[in-house]
Amino acid sequence: MSQFYNDAIFWIEVDRIKPNPFQPRREFDETQLRALADSIRQYGVLQALVVTRKEVEKPEGGIATEYELVAGERRLRASKLAGLSQVPALIRTTEDSDLMKLELAIIENIQREDLNAVDRAYAFDRLAKEFNFTHAEIGKKVGKSREYVSNTLRILTLPEHIRTALTEGKITEGHTRPLMMLVDRPEEQETLFKEIIFKKLNVREAEGIARHIAVERARKLIDHELIEIEDQFKEKLGTRVRIEKREEGGRVTIDFFNKEDLRALLERIAAENAALGNESASQAAEIANATPLEVVENAPVLTEEERIMAEDKPKEDDEDESLYSVSNFSI
């Protein structure tokens, strides 16, 4: 027996169709919805929605028929925008479980490539957590490899603002790979994310930077002092600083996003130097302005015996003066 009623298409009132509670899509682009609505006004709904049918008893008596959407939420929303009162739908004959509703919604969206990377990751996460599917089982159901599922789920380890940028199309799914390489280094991850946005880095360039950071970090694990100095540079300058150690000497690389950042770095260094100069000048002035009383107060305290010995000790300066005195010369 067919899974649909006589394989026939029924016209159902849009207000009687309840949304799928397991719809994996979270974002619906309003511009694209309006464009689809314009197309529906002109040509109608070319692909039928899929719904389930359920008969329930009314509180006041009698039977009411309810419909729940399985696939086609974007078409349903656009149909409402277009002002349609009815939409074509296929009615599934089987009573679908929650798992089946989620599975069908995910598969339909993936086959139509309607899910963005973040929504797809959340959908896979629900299949794994709520229904105990392994990554391999999820991959089999959606026609993807286990590695594809695992890599997609790793997107959820990224900070929320990076996931939002991915959803909004500010970065691509390819950019998430180098960002995830730095998931245990949040400061460097954030700096790379900003570079991707402001410098318009492509995926290859971003991967090169992330790989370089990973290699340099591993190389510096044996030199804790170098890591500490690098971290101090980062804290002082507020940007990523890389120290590359060579057999003799090395190189310090300071990242910046624009001319304003570069000028701000220069002003910060100048301010630090000025502050150090003022501190040195202040110390010199303090010493120059010291009174004899202050000098005496800071002198070492002598015992009575040490004082007598100091007074009895002949003074070399006086001896030198008497040596070259006129009274010591005769004609």
CA–CA dist 181, 201 (Å, integer): 16
Residue 63, class by beta-carbon neighbours within 10 Å (0-12 exposed, 13-18 middle, 19+ buried)?
A: exposed
CA angle, residues 222, 205, 118, in degrees to nearest 5: 95
CATH T-level fold of 1-96: 3.90.1530
- Annotated active-site residue 168? The verdict is no
What tokens were used for 56?
């329930």
Number of H helices, E strands in the chain: 15, 7
Backbone angles phi, psi at 54, to 5 degrees: -145, 135
In this prediction, residue 291 carries a pLDDT of: 47
CA–CA dist 246, 249 (Å, integer): 6
**Hey, is 6 helix, strand or coil?**
strand
In this prediction, residue 302 carries a pLDDT of: 52
In this prediction, residue 108 carries a pLDDT of: 67
152: closest CA among 100, 106, 205?
106
In this prediction, residue 163 carries a pLDDT of: 93
In this prediction, residue 219 carries a pLDDT of: 64
State the pTM of this model. Answer: 0.51
In this prediction, residue 299 carries a pLDDT of: 45
In this prediction, residue 114 carries a pLDDT of: 64
Could you state, in order of their start, the residue ranges of all structural domains in the chain? Answer: 1-96
In this prediction, residue 211 carries a pLDDT of: 86
What tokens were used for 8?
């026939």
Q: What is the mean pLDDT of each run of 10 residues along the chain (331 residues)?
A: 60 86 70 86 86 78 80 86 89 69 70 75 86 88 87 93 92 93 88 91 92 72 70 76 73 76 79 72 58 44 55 50 43 37
Residue in 30, 60, 68, 73 annotated catalytic: 73
**Hey, is 31 helix, strand or coil?**
helix
In this prediction, residue 135 carries a pLDDT of: 93
Backbone angles phi, psi at 318, to 5 degrees: -65, -40
In this prediction, residue 326 carries a pLDDT of: 43
* Secondary structure (DSSP) of 182-241: TTT-HHHHHHHHHHHHHS---HHHHHHHHHHHHHHHHHHTT-HHHHHHHHHHHHHHSS-E
